Amino acid sequence: MPLAIAMHPLERTQQVTSLYPSRAIRRARVFIEYTLQRPDGFLALSGARGAGKSSLLREVTEYLPVSTRLVQFSAAAFAQASGPHGATEALQRQLREARLAPREGEQSVLLWVDDAQALGEAALGRVMHLAAEARDVDWPMRVIVSGQGLSPRLSDRAGLGQLDTYAPSPLYLELCGLEDAEVAGYLDHWRQSVRVARAPLFRAEVHSLLHEASAGMPGRLASLCDSCLRHARDAGSEWVDEAMVVEVLARMDRQSSAGPVSSASAGARDPRSEALLAAVERLSGVLNECAGLIEHELRSMSEGVRPSR
């Protein structure tokens, strides 16, 4: 029976819900807390997929005071549905509603733009201008922008201009993955969060292998650990050893057809995605050609010339 990898999330305990307090996560929490303490706080949080950006911010925003309204904006969802321009218009409506129709007790806003890379430079710059325009002395607004690859746009100030046009003291942080020495602590934390009787132990020999396979990204490591747990449970083993991890990685490789799961290939694009993008490009070319023909026919008709067949 083939192993179903990451299809059904394992049940988590209520006692252990926080992220593993790695060095990178602790540093990010300091940056976030500083941003929330300032009425004009601005933070750009960048990091690779699976680094824990969204999980960390969701955890922090659960404990916001009632006086702070959270405007959470998923840029990827809106950009996919209506394009970058439509996404900025949707955000503008949300900010207007928060400003004109505050709930009882609300005195400030926290704007969190997640997956900001989906907007592109121009639309992301427009979002920052909207936040700057909405901010007021009597209506403090903190802004947190998170996404992948934001460094060229924010820290290097390409496309957006200088960050101090949006906030007096802007912060930028690249959220890194786990260090190799932190894997053992993470695995202990992970075992406590899984509601499985006698969850298997990971032998010390697999720590470096797990770190390399996940590139140190907590999200990837959690998925890999879940898969190893299922495999160990199916095999009736109380331990996860190197051979078992290698077998799980091989099965993941066969299922995804994306090459070995390693630090070198973790960011590689799935060949199926490449094929889909190529198909979309071909379709786009056909649609552009059709649009050109329609435009030509309409122009011919408006000029009184019989359309060509």
pLDDT the model gives residue 266: 41
CATH topology assigned to domain 180-256:
Helicase, Ruva Protein; domain 3 (1.10.8)
As a whole number of Å, the CA-based R_g of the chain is 24
How far is the first Cα of the chain from the last one, in angstroms, to the nearest whole number?
59
Contact 24, 188 (CB under 8 A): no
pLDDT the model gives residue 32: 92
Structure tokens at 172: 């930028």
| Structural domain boundaries in the chain | 23-174, 180-256, 274-309
pLDDT the model gives residue 124: 74
Give just the sign of the alpha carbon dihedral 93, 96, 100, 104.
positive
203 CB-side CA count, 13 A? 12
Structure tokens at 251: 């099965």
Q: Which CATH superfamily is domain 23-174 in?
A: P-loop containing nucleotide triphosphate hydrolases (3.40.50.300)
Amino acid at 3: L
Instruction: Give the residue carrying structure tokens 């053992």.
Output: 184
β pairing state of 171-174 and 201-202? unpaired
pLDDT the model gives residue 27: 92
DSSP lists the bridge partners of residue 109 as 69, 141
Contact 170, 164 (CB under 8 A): yes
Q: What angle do CA 87, 90, 95 make, to 5 degrees?
A: 125
β pairing state of 68-74 and 201-202? unpaired
The one-digit pLDDT tens for each residue of the chain (309 residues) are: 222 223 233 343 333 346 788 899 999 999 999 998 888 888 889 888 888 898 888 888 888 888 888 888 887 777 777 777 777 788 778 877 877 777 888 888 888 988 888 877 777 777 777 777 766 656 778 889 898 887 655 544 434 445 555 666 778 888 988 998 898 898 888 877 776 666 778 888 899 999 999 888 988 888 888 888 888 888 888 888 888 898 888 888 887 754 444 443 444 444 444 545 555 555 555 555 555 566 556 566 555 544 444
pLDDT the model gives residue 17: 43
pLDDT the model gives residue 6: 30
- How far CA 77 is from CA of 160, 220, 258, in Å, comes to 22, 22, 25
- How many CB atoms within 10 Å of residue 2? 7
Q: Which residues of 126-158 are buried (b: 16+ CB within 10 A; e: fewer)?
A: bbbebbeebbeeeebbbbbbbbbebeebbeeee
β pairing state of 171-174 and 68-74? unpaired
pLDDT the model gives residue 197: 60
Locate the DSSP E strands across 178-252: 201-202, 239-240
pLDDT the model gives residue 31: 92
Instruction: Give the residue carrying structure tokens 């260090």.
Output: 179
pLDDT the model gives residue 238: 84
The Cα–Cα gap between 247 and 260 comes to 11
